[in-house]
Amino acid sequence: MPEDHFGERVAARYDESAADMFGPAVVEPVVDFLRGSGIELDNGVVVNQRFETNVPGIYAVGDVACFLDPLFERRRRIEHWSNANYQGSEAGKILAGADGGYDTVSTFFTESFGLTLKVFGDTSRQDDRIARGSFVQGEAIVFYLEQGRLVGTLLAGQDEDTEEKLEELIRDRAAPSGPRALADASLSLEEAFPHAAAARSETTS
Ligand SMILES: Cc1cc2nc3c(=O)[nH]c(=O)nc-3n(C[C@H](O)[C@H](O)[C@H](O)COP(=O)(O)OP(=O)(O)OC[C@H]3O[C@@H](n4cnc5c(N)ncnc54)[C@H](O)[C@@H]3O)c2cc1C
């Protein structure tokens, strides 16, 4: 009987395709009932960083909100319960008269074939991406770059410290020393992003 390599082929394809899984959202929320209300609609309900629509006193958060992400200076809509939770809390602060608004590196996560995949930042705007590790092996990071700077990551099997560092690097739009350093899982993030590490130690000293 011929040897069946189907499992290996699926595994290899999984590694290749994992980075393709997270593009721009293609689902549009149903907001027809708001047409004619005067509230600006465009891929959901258009709101600013403070979740305010163009109509005073009307706010929108969660799946339906096409909000301004100040980090990437563009409008985005994120369909994930953690985003709805975060935005709801921030809007609650604003309604209670406190400071608040969207001020975070966006994150979402999902389960695929028993693996928890996490996405940080904005993976839709990349012009290059480099992977280290292997999703099949359960530990991997895909770095999404725009003009040589980090704008997002897709990852699996990373510890909390690594996840926090990745969020900081995205917030700083850090530039790696080069593609080889990103692809080499034996190098730490500090080694792969030496300028960001140096800048941080300057600000903390
Ligand atoms: C099939 C499916 C699977 C999902 N799986 C996951 C997952 O595994 N993990 C994850 O993080 N996210 C998942 N999501 C996304 C997650 O459910 C949403 O991101 C989250 O529920 C968004 O919360 P929300 O409050 O913005 O909207 P919703 O939870 O959709 O709440 C909106 C509410 O408004 C009500 N409503 C709508 N129109 C009107 C109206 N005209 N008048 C009055 N009330 C109205 C609706 O009935 C609903 O109760 C999934 C979504 C779907 C559809």
Domain annotation covers residue 27? no
Query: Of the candidates 46, 72, 95, which is a domain's last residue?
Result: 95
Pick the atom of ligand 1 nearest to 64's CA: 26
Q: What pLDDT does 198 receive?
A: 66
Residue 133: which CATH number?
3.30.390.30
Ligand 1 near 6 CB (within 6 A): no
Where in the sequence is the domain holding 184, given as residue range(s)? 105-204
Is the sign of the CA dihedral 28, 30, 32, 37 positive or negative? negative
Residues 87 and 115 in one domain: no
Nearest residue (CA) to ligand 1, atom 20: 81
Q: Which ligand 1 atom is the nearest neighbour of the CA of 30?
A: 38
Q: What is the pLDDT of residues 159-188, one digit of tens each?
A: 999 999 999 999 999 999 999 999 999 999
Confidence band (pLDDT; 50, 70, 90) for 125? confident
**Confidence band, pLDDT 50/70/90 cuts, at residue 201:** low
Domain count for the chain, please give it: 2
**Residue 28: which residues within 8 A CB-CB, separation 6 or more?**
43, 44
Instruction: Give the whole-number percent of the chain exceeding pLDDT 70.
Output: 83
Do residues 175 and 151 both lie within one domain?
A: yes
Within a domain: 11: no
Q: What is the pLDDT of residues 61-98, one digit of tens each?
A: 999 999 999 999 999 999 999 999 999 999 999 999 99
CA distance 175 to 154: 17
User: Of the candidates 95, 127, 148, which is a domain's last residue?
Assistant: 95
Residue pointed to by tokens 């903390």: 204
DSSP string, 5-30: -HHHHHHHHHHHHHTTS--S------
Closest atom, ligand 1, to C-alpha of 88: 25
User: Same domain for 111 and 90?
Assistant: no
Which residue minimizes the CA distance to atom 53 of ligand 1?
A: 79
Write down which residue in 95, 122, 147 finishes a domain. Answer: 95
Q: 30 CA to middle of ligand 1, Å? A: 11
Of 50, 124, 132, nearest to 92 (Cα)?
50
Helix (H) or strand (E) holding 76: strand 74-76
CA 78 to ligand 1 center in whole angstroms: 11
In-domain check, residue 85: yes
